[in-house]
């Protein structure tokens, strides 16, 4: 990397190849993660949720009127860990103001299936703190990090017991 001189807006070939290689390796890695950690393959995935997401989900399931930012967080988080639009809608069905058509439009929008086709990412812990949605100190920077760590830990513990 030190030998590569970046000149203006031109991307040098070695840097371009390096980025391509990294991107392809990352793609393979992501595919592997998705195969191994698909929701259908994970027992009791809800127990691996970070406390903030669990609190929002419990609130929605209990029929509480949770704020828009919390709903966005819940939907984007669940879609990111592999739930389908239908599965996410099933969770929101308990909300007191649930309207199938509007909820479907919003969840599909967050999933990147409508409008700008941009898939939205869940908030980072810093954003969650600003929005007063953070409910614990978990020593992570992102709620997704908590989830994946928690699943990894569970798998390692299971393996150790075998
Ligand atoms: S530290 Fe992060 S993961 Fe933990 S509750 Fe707060 S926002 Fe959620």
Residue to mutate (ligand 1; options 80, 123, 137, 150; most atoms within 8 A of CB): 137
Looking at residue 161, its pLDDT comes to 62
Q: Is 7 helix (H, G, I), strand (E, B) or coil?
A: strand
Over residues 135-150, mean pLDDT:
95
Question: Is it the case that residue 11 has pLDDT exceeding 80?
Answer: no
Please state, in angstroms and rounded to a whole number, the distance separating the CA atoms of residues 123 and 67: 14
* 154 Cα to the center of ligand 1, angstroms: 19
Question: Is it the case that residue 48 has pLDDT exceeding 80?
Answer: yes
* CB neighbourhood size of 112 (10 A): 13
Ligand 1: which atom is nearest the Cα of residue 129?
A: 7
Please state, in angstroms and rounded to a whole number, the distance separating the CA atoms of residues 76 and 70: 10
Domain assignments of the chain as residue spans, ordered by start: 1-38, 51-161
CB 35 within 8 A of CB 67: no
- 92-112 pLDDT, tens per residue? 999 999 999 999 999 999 999
Helix ranges (DSSP H) in the chain: 13-36, 51-61, 68-80, 85-92, 100-110, 125-130, 143-161
Q: Is 116 helix (H, G, I), strand (E, B) or coil?
A: coil
Which residue did the predictor score with more confidence, 57 or 16?
Answer: 57
Token code pair at residue 131? 């929005």
* 139 Cα to the center of ligand 1, angstroms: 8
Least confident of 33-47, 49-63, 104-118, 122-136: 33-47
Is the pTM of the predicted complex or chain greater than 0.85?
no
- 64-84 pLDDT, tens per residue? 999 999 999 999 999 999 899
Task: Output the residue whose Cα is nearest ligand 1's atom 8.
Answer: 52
Provide the pLDDT confidence category of residue 24 given band limits of 50, 70 and 90: confident
Please state, in angstroms and rounded to a whole number, the distance separating the CA atoms of residues 39 and 46: 10
Please state, in angstroms and rounded to a whole number, the distance separating the CA atoms of residues 78 and 156: 23
CB 19 within 8 A of CB 122: no
Over residues 146-160, mean pLDDT:
78
Residue to mutate (ligand 1; options 52, 80, 142; most atoms within 8 A of CB): 52
**DSSP 8-state symbol, 48:** G
Which residue did the predictor score with more confidence, 45 or 11?
Answer: 45
Q: How far is CA 22 from the centre of its chain?
A: 22
Question: Is it the case that residue 22 has pLDDT exceeding 70?
Answer: yes
């Amino acid at each position: 990397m030190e030998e590569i001189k970046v000149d203006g807006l031109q991307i040098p070939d070695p840097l371009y190849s390096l980025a391509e290689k990294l991107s392809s390796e990352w793609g393979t890695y992501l595919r592997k993660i998705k195969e191994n950690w698909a929701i259908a393959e994970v027992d009791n995935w809800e127990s691996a949720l970070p406390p903030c997401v669990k609190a929002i989900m419990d609130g929605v399931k209990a029929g509480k009127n949770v704020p828009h930012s919390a709903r966005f967080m819940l939907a984007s988080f669940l879609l990111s860990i592999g739930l389908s639009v239908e599965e996410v809608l099933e969770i929101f069905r308990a909300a007191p103001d649930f309207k199938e058509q509007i909820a479907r439009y919003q969840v599909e929008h967050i999933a990147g299936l409508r409008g700008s086709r941009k898939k939205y990412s869940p908030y980072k812990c810093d954003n969650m703190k600003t929005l007063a949605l953070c409910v614990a100190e978990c020593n992570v920077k992102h709620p997704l990090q908590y989830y994946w760590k928690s699943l990894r830990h569970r798998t390692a513990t299971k393996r150790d017991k075998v």
